[in-house]
Amino acid sequence: MTTPAAVKKFVDPREFDSEEFRRDPFPVYARLRDHSPLYQDRFHGRWVVSRYDDIVDIFQNNEDFDRAAYDPDGEYEFGKRHVFGPNILEYGNSDRHHFLRNVVADQFVGKRLDSFLPVIELIARELLGRIAAKAAEDTVAGFRKAGEVELVSQFSNQFPVRVISNMLGLPRVDEERFVGWYQDLIAGLGFGGEFFVRGMHARNEMWDYLDPLIEQRLDAPGEDLVSRIVLAENKGTRMTREEVKGFVALLLAAGGDTTDKAISNMWYHMLYTRPDQFEAVKQDTNLWSNVFTEMMRFDPVVHAQGRHTTREIKLYDDVIPTRSMVTLYLGAGNRDERVFKDPDTFDILREDLHMGRELRSGRYGDGKAGHLGFGMGQHFCMGYAMARQEAVIASQRLMEALKNPRAKFAHHEGITSPGDIGSGGFRAPRELWVEFDV
């Protein structure tokens, strides 16, 4: 283990707040992994873990590391001050977390997810229809010879939130309002001050909107997600009204903001990092599934997750005190050269990465390592299958709709984070201009 003096030389905690880190955190990650795999960041009052195996161990050790920051003996306060309200993610390792997970988890996998696949297809086609119509109009009006689209604002930002609102069974006329609430909620989550106030305002409006909708679904349930969630039971118990609303708010952020950025990241890497492999994907669109997996390793949307120690933990030569904040840098673990060969190369055909369905345990029978992008263990992403389906279907439909897609500009500023990576600043390109034949 390195001494404090040596650590200072390798990593300065202020680096975590720099613009450079938001743009390209990987050199700092490499220094952490090599010289200080358990790094005490006194400046931010936390401990930082960066190696793959350590992250896997901590994710799977629920006894010693809790997701929630509340006092288990005290009143649970979290939802009252959070834009989402009470939600599954923040119930830590409590019994309530197990209950909520059991009630809703199977809505997002297997046959129940399959029943929503037509919705995903429909929304993708609708959005693409608009893009194609705009390109045709521009051409007829003599503006352009090639079609063009800014993929982030015109497609990725809109697609997952529309899928979710459709799955919830909201009236189509209300969809724009829902998209607006979603945008304010996300901003309220990542930034403080007036953004937080707007986020809370959006949450309150959305909650008021949901009340009569929930009543109506209880009276006359349908096949939509709201009906399924309000009626779902575990050992005869249902979610409380507040939990249903908190879950809908969480769905928007956990499933919307992340999947939207995943689609953009996949396209960024095909257009700019590996145009050679993009040619192979054009020939065989099933390879989008590999693009998704390698993106989740190489440049995952979510780079960090937090845990709190429930007791003193000895790791390497240090002792982490009880109730300390621990940041797990998934983005660093995914580039660990102890696990992945040539980790800084984006390669959709790499042989050391498990390319199939993600597992909650992170261990694979094929002997390959899984990416850390969905976390693992008790809080393993409930929407992993849905995110994969959405991102792959969206990309395949985009490929069909946009003939000969290519980067409009030769240079791109790259993938970046709009906020602090350590506390939820999800990473994606700000813009992605694509040209195509019309």
Instruction: Output 10 or 70, the one with its CB closest to ligand HEM.
Output: 70
Task: Name which of 269 and 379 has its Cβ closer to ligand HEM.
Answer: 379
| Cβ-based nearer residue to ligand HEM, 128 or 164 | 164
Q: What's the min distance (Å) between Cβ of 400 and ligand HEM?
A: 22
Is the Cβ–Cβ distance between 37 and 49 less than 8 Å? yes
- Rounded CA-CA distance 66/238 in Å is 24
Decide whether 258 or 309 has the Cβ nearer to ligand HEM.
Answer: 258
Q: Could you give the strand order of the β-sheet that contains 304-309, starting from the edge strand earlier in sequence?
A: 38-41, 46-49, 325-329, 304-309, 65-66
Distance CA 424, CA 192 (A): 13
Q: Which two tokens stand for residue 201?
A: 């305002």
Scan for tokens 């959006």, then name that residue.
202
What is the nearest approach in angstroms of ligand HEM to the Cβ of residue 144?
Answer: 32
CB of 105 to ligand HEM, least distance (A): 8
Q: Based on CB atoms, which residue is closest to ligand HEM, 289 or 305?
A: 305
Minimum gap (Å) between residue 129 Cβ and ligand HEM: 23
Residue nearest to ligand HEM (CB): 383
Token readout for 268 is 């960024």
CB of 335 to ligand HEM, least distance (A): 16
Residues found in the chain: 438
Q: Residue 424 Cβ, how far from ligand HEM at the closest point, in Å?
A: 10
- β-strands 325-329, 38-41 pairing: unpaired
For residues 185 and 198, is the Cβ–Cβ distance under 8 A? no
Q: Which is nearer to ligand HEM, 123 or 250 (CB)?
A: 250
Q: Which residues bind ligand HEM (CB under 6 A)?
A: 67, 88-89, 101, 108, 250-251, 254-255, 258-259, 262, 300-302, 305, 373-375, 379, 381-383, 386-387
Q: Min. distance of Cβ 374 from ligand HEM in angstroms?
A: 5
Given the complex with ligand HEM, which of 11 and 89 has the nearer CB atom?
A: 89
Contact 46, 309 (CB under 8 A): no
Please count the other Cβ atoms lying within 10 Å of the Cβ belonging to residue 42: 10
- What is the distance of C-alpha 304 from the center of its chain? 10
